[in-house]
Amino acid sequence: MIDVVTYLNTGLSTGATGTSKTSQQELGKDAFMQLLISQLAYQDPLEPMDNTEFISQLAQFSALEQQQNIAAGIQLLALSQTASTNSQMVNLIGKRVLTPGNQFTLEAEKALTLRFDLEGDGVPAKINIKNSDGDVVRTIDITEFKEGTNQVSFDGKDNDGNWLAAGAYTYEIVSATGDEIEGLTTYGNFLVDAVAFDGSTILLKALGISIDLGDISEVVTN
């Protein structure tokens, strides 16, 4: 005689390991109920199913059905949460985000803020703005360089006062003599122009630069 619960458990285990769609469809609760009815119809009349065993199978069937319903509910909740998260991420398009690093994207004829943190006492320093070729196009003297968070406004112009082309740039902060500064953490500043969805992964895009959500430290106005 076929044991419904054994078949049920075997089917669920098989379905969880990634069997074909047809096999998973055969493991529906309607199929289980039909199997149970068939078991009752074809049981040995000389050795009928014990009432306790029958009630036990029904109880296990009910428990497994509840598990399936819970799993379906969790899956629906996950899909709903994903849709909500995706919608929120789209709202970041057109806004600027800060991430650890020294890259930033510049808009045409617009200023932006460069942020950096310093551990320890400040020293006379300067910021070198570099284009995509690595050439220094602007040098900014830092007159107030203190311990903790520092912010410097970059007007978007080169050393000759001309507007720099929109695009991706990098910057470095060194002492006035050109030496490396200890305990310095710089942040990139990116204008988000797109959001990419790849399964469970969400990436922000800024002029082709990919930004992981986990790297964002702050959303800013400029």
User: Which of the residue ranges 8-22, 45-59, 139-153, 154-168 would you say has the lowest mean pLDDT?
Assistant: 8-22
pTM assigned to the model? 0.62
Q: Which residue has the tokens 């493991």?
A: 27
How high does pLDDT run on average in the chain? 80
Read off the pLDDT of residues 29-48 as tens digits, 9 standing for 90 and up: 666 667 667 766 766 666 66
Residue 96 has pLDDT above 60, yes or no: yes
Residue 107: how many other CB atoms lie within 10 Å: 13
Tell me what the mean pLDDT of segment 19-27 comes to: 44
pLDDT of 22: 42
Residue 122, SS3 per DSSP: coil
Residue 20 has pLDDT above 50, yes or no: no
Q: Which residues of 121-156 are buried (b: 16+ CB within 10 A; e: fewer)?
A: eeeebbbbbebeeeeebbebebeebeeeebebebeb
Q: Looking at the DSSP assignment, which residues form a beta bridge with residue 150? A: 116
173 confidence band (pLDDT: 50, 70, 90): very high
More confident residue, 81 or 190: 190
Residue 7 has pLDDT above 70, yes or no: no
List every span in the chain annotated with CATH 2.60.40.4070. Answer: 96-220
- In one-letter notation, the amino acid at residue 10 is T
Does the domain spanning 96-220 belong to CATH 2.60.40.4070? yes
Read off the pLDDT of residues 63-75 as tens digits, 9 standing for 90 and up: 777 777 787 777 7
What is the C-alpha to C-alpha distance for residues 1 and 47, in angstroms, rounded to an integer?
11
pLDDT of 2: 46
pLDDT of 23: 43
